[in-house]
Amino acid sequence: MSRHRNFRKMNYDDERDDDDGEEFHRYSLSMDDDVPMSPNTAKFMYHRPKAQAGNTSRLSDFVMEEQLENDVVYDEHDSQFELEVDRLVPETKKSLPAQPSSSVTFITSRQRDRKAPAGANAKVSTEEKRDQTPKRAAKEEQPRLLIPEVENLRLSEVSEKARGDSSVRPPTLTPNASSKRLSALAVAQATPTASPKVRHRTVDEKPLINLVIVGHVDAGKSTLMGHLLYQLGRVDERTMHKYKQESARTGKASFAFAWVLDDTQEERQRGVTMDIAKTTFETEHRRIVLLDAPGHKDFIPNMITGASQADAGLLVVNATTGEFETGFDLGGQTREHAMLLRSLGVTELSVAVNKLDTVDWSQARYDEVCGVLRNFLRKQAAFPVVHFIPVSGLNGINLIVPPPDDHPLRGWYNGPTLLQFIDGVSAPTRGEDRPLRAVINDVLKTTPNSVTVSVKVEAGHTECGEKVFIMPNADAATVKGVSMEDTNTSGTAICFAGDHAILTLSATTNFEPDSINSGQVLCRGGKECLIPAKRFVVRLVVFNIVVPIMKGTKAELFAHSLCEPCTVVRLRSALSKASGEVLKQKPRCLTRNMSGMVEIQTDRAISVESYAECKALGRITLRSGGQTIAAGIIEQVLE
């Protein structure tokens, strides 16, 4: 075969070495077949000789301790420690006191080489020389060494020179990110507190209301508010006609009004709201900032961000048979959104019973939905007052004008419209005279010298030319521009507590890359400086959970626009939800629907305060495994 051609034509005489013979072709044989042990192995074997008179100096034989009285044991470990014999004063040798006799004396190898005479070779390289030299003769030839008195102990010659050289300085710590942040925080605290100018809103200005829209997915939130904005004239006819044509072209004609708020391509393709949509409009007595929150459970963190900025809430439910039960039962978002709103400080809630046109405007279905929700919202969620409004977001019924007289809704409902409910929301008290606290919700533009951010002013006020610090990194900056999101004013505007503004900040020193993020807080320096916290005491309310909360529980902490991993490091006490009394000290765990005092620690310092100092920065929410497990307020900051 062709593959064996090379082997058939091979000349084995050329391939074989010259020294190849029959004796080298004894395969599978070793030296053990001929010789019991190879010579290379035999030379390393130790054969114990018979006891002789000259073998008593070996360590293998037993030698009485008194026989080693004048022997010298050499220490080979002198590379680190050495006696400075050269510095001995000659007269010192004469005045040396009598040394007490000792059994063993240690000297170094350098002293042995320096003191031992050239002719006296104490080392015996082979066993033949040791056996030929008697022990007593070796004793007589070996001199008795005198150990001098130790004056100084030196580690090495290099360290001796280093001690004598005064130019050598001790090592210093290299500053890192943590030390820079601490120094920046110290600068912020030491900054003199300049009394800000007293600013107040215009007297005839309408009160500002931040309204968040929540509810289960596909409840019709975006369609309802989009149709409301269209009827208010916030969307022109040309734009609305464009939305209707584009949505019909994609097979989603019913989403035309939802596209007013869902402006991203991904949201329109998927048909769900994914992020907070923000817009503004005015009623007769109120200025409304509308926050449309997502309803899908995968976007609960975005919903929490929007709910933390709200003053009032509008819960939208689907009255369609089966759809309401799906959203309200365990696993639906109707129940969870309501609990989150209450835990984030929203006390005024209205419920829009949507899609009543799918049940022919049935009063029985409306009463059934209202009865279930009223019992839950008042007893479990603890809302003091709840209002219900029957609406149809797709058809635009009962939004800004009452339905016509011949409409089926007029037969059993004569209450206010949705717009009238929104106009009647009470304005909360703002802390405009408190220290500045502005939460960064989004970073719009970043350069090494400046940054443009979208903020929600939670307390105080700010204007152009004011020096602020961005916590928790304590980056110093100057406000160069202020523009309100709901107006066209810019440059010299003043934003007060409750306002949503866009600030342009100029850095005192260049901003580090990715150092400005959402969840950070703007404040002034000195006494008004916000001190970042890493560990704090929280009064916690546990939700309907399966796994109890115990020491070591890991979770995600949500506060205003912040999300940070945290750990429950201590359970202080279990409290009564009704009276707040301590039921048990140091409980082992907190189960469902319990309340307690716990200590929480985050991985890094965050911008939070106690609830007494700032309500917006003192509320937290804990989530784990895609579920909200607890919510509470910060009672005390520990570190």
CA 534 to CA 206: how far, in whole Å? 39
- For residue 39, the model assigns a pLDDT of 72
Q: Is 474 helix (H, G, I), strand (E, B) or coil?
A: coil
- For residue 191, the model assigns a pLDDT of 76
- For residue 236, the model assigns a pLDDT of 92
Residues 344 and 232 in one domain: yes
- For residue 571, the model assigns a pLDDT of 96
With respect to residue 58, please indicate whether it lies within any of the assigned structural domains.
no
Q: With 0-12 CB in 10 A as exposed, 13-18 as middle and 19+ as buried, what is 373?
A: buried
Q: Residue 511: pLDDT above 60?
A: yes
Residues 219 and 338 in one domain: yes
CA 491 to CA 480: how far, in whole Å? 8
Average pLDDT over residues 475-493: 75
CA 251 to CA 379: how far, in whole Å? 43
Residues 264 and 403 in one domain: yes
CA 256 to CA 243: how far, in whole Å? 5
- For residue 126, the model assigns a pLDDT of 45
H or E stretch covering 158: helix 157-164
- For residue 197, the model assigns a pLDDT of 61
CA 556 to CA 301: how far, in whole Å? 10
Determine the number of helices (DSSP H) and then strands (DSSP E) in the chain: 17, 27
Residues 331 and 465 in one domain: no
* Overall domain count for the chain: 4
DSSP string, 324-393: HHHHHSTT-HHHHHHHHHHHTT--EEEEEEE-GGGGTT-HHHHHHHHHHHHHHHHHTS--SEEEEEE-BT
Model confidence at 178, pLDDT cuts 50, 70, 90, reads: low
- Domain termination residue (choose one: 401, 423, 445): 423
**Among 383, 287, 286, residue whose Cα is nearest residue 338:** 383
- Domain termination residue (choose one: 423, 447, 469): 423
**Structure token pair of residue 635:** 């009672």
With respect to residue 338, please indicate whether it lies within any of the assigned structural domains.
yes
Average pLDDT over residues 215-231: 94
Residues 503 and 542 in one domain: no
CA 475 to CA 473: how far, in whole Å? 6
Please give the DSSP secondary-structure letter assigned to residue 133: S
Strands 287-292 and 208-215, by their bridges, are parallel
- For residue 605, the model assigns a pLDDT of 93
* Cβ neighbours of residue 274 closer than 8 Å, sequence gap 6 or more: 264, 266, 267, 294, 296, 299, 302
**Helix spans in 380-530 (H):** 418-423
Please give the DSSP secondary-structure letter assigned to residue 579: T
Average pLDDT over residues 228-250: 93
What CATH number corresponds to the domain at position 626?
Answer: 2.40.30.10
CA 513 to CA 451: how far, in whole Å? 11
Q: 101-156, pLDDT tens digit by residue?
A: 444 444 555 555 554 444 444 444 444 444 444 444 444 455 554 545 545 444 44
With respect to residue 337, please indicate whether it lies within any of the assigned structural domains.
yes
With respect to residue 586, please indicate whether it lies within any of the assigned structural domains.
yes
Lowest mean pLDDT among 23-32, 374-383, 385-394: 23-32
Q: Is 560 helix (H, G, I), strand (E, B) or coil?
A: coil
**Structure token pair of residue 334:** 């109707």
* CB neighbourhood size of 574 (10 A): 20
Say how many residues make up the chain.
Answer: 639
- For residue 157, the model assigns a pLDDT of 46
- For residue 167, the model assigns a pLDDT of 46
- For residue 588, the model assigns a pLDDT of 94
Residues 261 and 288 in one domain: yes
Residues 559 and 509 in one domain: no
With respect to residue 108, please indicate whether it lies within any of the assigned structural domains.
yes
Residues 511 and 538 in one domain: no
Residues 402 and 509 in one domain: no
Residues 235 and 383 in one domain: yes
Average pLDDT over residues 39-44: 73
Q: Residue 72: pLDDT above 60?
A: no
Q: 154-174, pLDDT tens digit by residue?
A: 444 444 444 444 444 443 334
Q: Where in the sequence is the domain holding 522, given as residue range(s)?
A: 437-528
Q: Residue 51: pLDDT above 80?
A: no
CA 140 to CA 120: how far, in whole Å? 10
With respect to residue 243, please indicate whether it lies within any of the assigned structural domains.
yes
What CATH number corresponds to the domain at position 355?
Answer: 3.40.50.300
pTM comes to: 0.70
Q: Residue 360: pLDDT above 50?
A: yes
Model confidence at 41, pLDDT cuts 50, 70, 90, reads: confident
Q: 404-457, pLDDT tens digit by residue?
A: 999 999 999 999 999 999 999 998 888 888 999 999 999 998 888 899 999 999
- For residue 155, the model assigns a pLDDT of 43
Q: Is 597 helix (H, G, I), strand (E, B) or coil?
A: strand
Q: Residue 526: pLDDT above 50?
A: yes
The dihedral over CA atoms of 497, 503, 506, 509, expressed in degrees to the nearest 10, equals 60
With respect to residue 42, please indicate whether it lies within any of the assigned structural domains.
no
Asked if residue 327 lies in contact with residue 373, where contact means CB atoms within 8 angstroms, the answer is no
With respect to residue 613, please indicate whether it lies within any of the assigned structural domains.
yes
Q: 603-632, pLDDT tens digit by residue?
A: 999 999 999 999 999 999 999 988 899 999
**Considering the chain, what percentage of its residues have pLDDT values greater than 90?**
48
Mean per-residue pLDDT of the chain:
79
Residues 540 and 556 in one domain: yes
Residues 139 and 277 in one domain: no
